[in-house]
Amino acid sequence: MFFERIYEKGLAQASYVIGCQATKEAIVVDPKRDIDTYLEIAERENLRITHIAETHIHADFLSGSLELAHETGAKIYLSNEGGSEWQYQFDHIGLKYGDVIKIGNINLSVMHTPGHTPEHISFILTDLPASSEPSMIFTGDFVFVGDVGRPDLLEKAVGIEGTMIAGARQMFQSLKKFKSLPDHLQVWPAHGAGSACGKALGAVPSSTVGYEKLSNWAMKIDDEETFIQTLLEGQPEPPKYFAMMKKLNKLGPKVLGSIPHPARLSVAKFKEALASDYQIVDTRDKLSFAGGHIPGSLNIQDNNSFSNWAGWMLDYEKPIILIARERRVDALNRALIRIGIDNLEGYVSDIDKLEASGLNLEILNQISVEELKDDISEYKIIDVRSYTEFDISHIPGAVNIHTGYLKNNIDKISDDEKLVLYCTSGDRSAIGASYLLKLGHRNIHNLSGGINAWIQAGCKTERKYIKQLAVVDK
């Protein structure tokens, strides 16, 4: 048997290629949208991709199943569990609990594991030439290393009322099935640390059923009501783009055919785009952006969180221009494509050339801990982290508006106020501050080093909510 895990750090997302080396057939489980990775693996290993499967309708990335089927002619196997409201709307081979997918001498048995979503299934793998006993389970967003899938996304991100508690109850029952599996079974989940599909995902790639029964918090709670309460509390804010991913993955994503290559723009073409109200995304580090950037541009740094924040902050309908290092454009383009943003039209790599052509650059004010501490009463302080981070520790007097919800709460931010935005180290607050600058707010400062610098300087923090805006998140 051939086995390879493919991991995309930006979304903390894992997919899998499993092949029968006797028949040269292979299946891809939970593929990402840029499918050349799987094609290269298949060519390298002399395999034919004949099967494609998904564990559920994904919310955090755009599936590559249709893309891969279009390229290879492979059959798509998807869940038909969960009821009529949770069915895929494009052609596929439907799967129910107990069904078996055969890939040469390998069997993938279907187990219905609702909780994260009603239609969720897991695949139990048996490599028949090696043993009649199963060896692996592909758990999707059901069981992670150290955690389980959150059941609140359908309600919080998509707005389907009544699904959160119902999903938590389903998860409790699904875990009973999981606990009955052989301890030796290897657990291969669809996500790792950093994913918003859970709250405490481990950083190691895999585990076993036996180890999860010993170490996973969710396996240790036998009372259903206590489990529900514990599962639902402390979940991170779901990114806004999750609703779009659910919709597109259910209906069937657009097939690209190949990865598009955005054009390098001349100064003249960039100025045309600027005049046409394109979205300008500056991917440089936050200090370079603060020192001088194109007015109206949004600072989403080129790091592992790029795709997540692009999904939070960008309009899916408007064309995009990147300011980025040339060697990073392809990777950034792929990061956008993976979440269904297909409207990247070009890039510029030399901002100095733009300035030399007559474009005026704008700065983003930075404020040090000492400056803020000495004059704190003069500022309205906005903590742009998650509510759970805010609750643990925040600067006295700060209000909490998550970076992704600034747009929904813009009416609570006055042009007359001197604003300081902060997060943990300054990355998220740079996004938020650039967004407010884009909207025309000018009296804005980003706290250098964030709350980490505040604490390291010996300044006091608070744990209890003192003042918080009625934050709108939908």
What H or E segment, with its residue span, contains residue 438? helix 427-438
**What are phi and psi for residue 287, nearest 5 degrees?**
-75, -40
- CA dist 258 → 34, 68, 71, 436 (Å): 8, 10, 9, 36
pLDDT per position in the chain (474 positions), as tens?
999 999 999 999 999 999 999 999 999 999 999 999 999 999 999 999 999 999 999 999 999 999 999 999 999 999 999 999 899 999 999 999 999 999 999 999 999 999 999 999 999 999 999 999 999 999 999 999 999 999 998 888 888 888 999 999 999 999 999 999 999 999 999 999 888 888 878 889 999 999 999 999 999 999 999 999 999 998 888 888 999 999 999 999 999 999 999 999 999 999 999 999 899 999 999 999 999 999 999 999 999 999 999 999 999 999 999 999 999 999 999 999 999 999 999 999 999 999 999 999 999 999 999 999 999 999 999 999 999 999 999 999 999 999 999 999 998 898 888 999 999 999 999 999 999 999 999 899 999 999 999 999 999 999 864 444 444 443
Please check whether residue 220 is in contact with residue 164, taking contact to mean a CB–CB distance below 8 angstroms.
no
End-to-end CA distance of the chain: 47
Amino acid identity, residue 264?
R
Largest CA distance in the chain: 73
**Cβ-based burial of 85 (10 A; exposed 0-12, middle 13-18, buried ≥19):** exposed
Contacts of 362 by beta carbon, 8 Å cutoff, 6+ apart: 292, 293, 294, 295, 437
Nearest to 350 by CA among 333, 326, 321: 326
**Cβ-based burial of 441 (10 A; exposed 0-12, middle 13-18, buried ≥19):** middle
437/257 Cα distance (integer angstroms): 38
Each domain of the chain, given as residue ranges in start order, spans 2-251, 263-356, 365-456
**What are phi and psi for residue 281, nearest 5 degrees?**
-110, 115
Residue by residue, DSSP assigns 189-255 as ESB-TT-TT-SS--SSS-EEHHHHHHH-GGGG---HHHHHHHHHTTPPPPPTHHHHHHHHHHH-PPP
- CA dist 74 → 53, 57, 71, 427 (Å): 10, 19, 8, 42
Q: Is the dihedral of CA 303, 308, 314, 316 positive or negative?
A: positive
Read off the DSSP letter of residue 448. T
Q: Which CATH number is 2-251 given?
A: 3.60.15.10
322/48 Cα distance (integer angstroms): 37
Please list the alpha-helical segments (H only) found in 276-322. Answer: 286-291, 306-313
pLDDT of 156: 86
Residue by residue, DSSP assigns 169-208 as HHHHHHHHHHHTS-TT-EEEESB-TT-TT-SS--SSS-EE
426/141 Cα distance (integer angstroms): 30
Please check whether residue 39 is in contact with residue 239, taking contact to mean a CB–CB distance below 8 angstroms.
no
CATH homologous superfamily of 263-356 equals: Rhodanese-like domain (3.40.250.10)
State the CB neighbour count (10 A cutoff) for residue 289.
27
49/363 Cα distance (integer angstroms): 51
Nearest to 26 by CA among 43, 50, 8: 50
398/416 Cα distance (integer angstroms): 17
pLDDT of 474: 38
Please tell me the total number of residues recorded for the chain in this structure. 474
Amino acid identity, residue 196?
A
pLDDT of 464: 62
36/34 Cα distance (integer angstroms): 6
Per-residue pLDDT tens digits for 119-146 = 999 999 999 999 999 999 999 999 999 9
345/232 Cα distance (integer angstroms): 40
Amino acid identity, residue 184?
H
The strand pairing partners of 117, in sequence order, are none
Compute the C-alpha angle 25/26/28, nearest 5°.
160
SS3 content of the chain, % helix, strand, coil (to 5): 35, 20, 45
Nearest to 188 by CA among 261, 125, 270: 125
Fold of 365-456: Oxidized Rhodanese; domain 1 (3.40.250)
pLDDT of 142: 98
The β-bridge relationship of strands 93-95 and 100-103 is unpaired
Fold matches, 263-356 and 365-456 = yes
Q: What is the pTM of this model?
A: 0.92
Pull the structure tokens for residue 108. Answer: 């993938």
Pull the structure tokens for residue 42. Answer: 């298949």
Nearest to 2 by CA among 29, 26, 37, 30: 26
Region of 307 please: left (phi>0), alpha (psi -120 to 50) or beta.
Answer: alpha
The strand pairing partners of 78, in sequence order, are 94
Read off the DSSP letter of residue 65. H
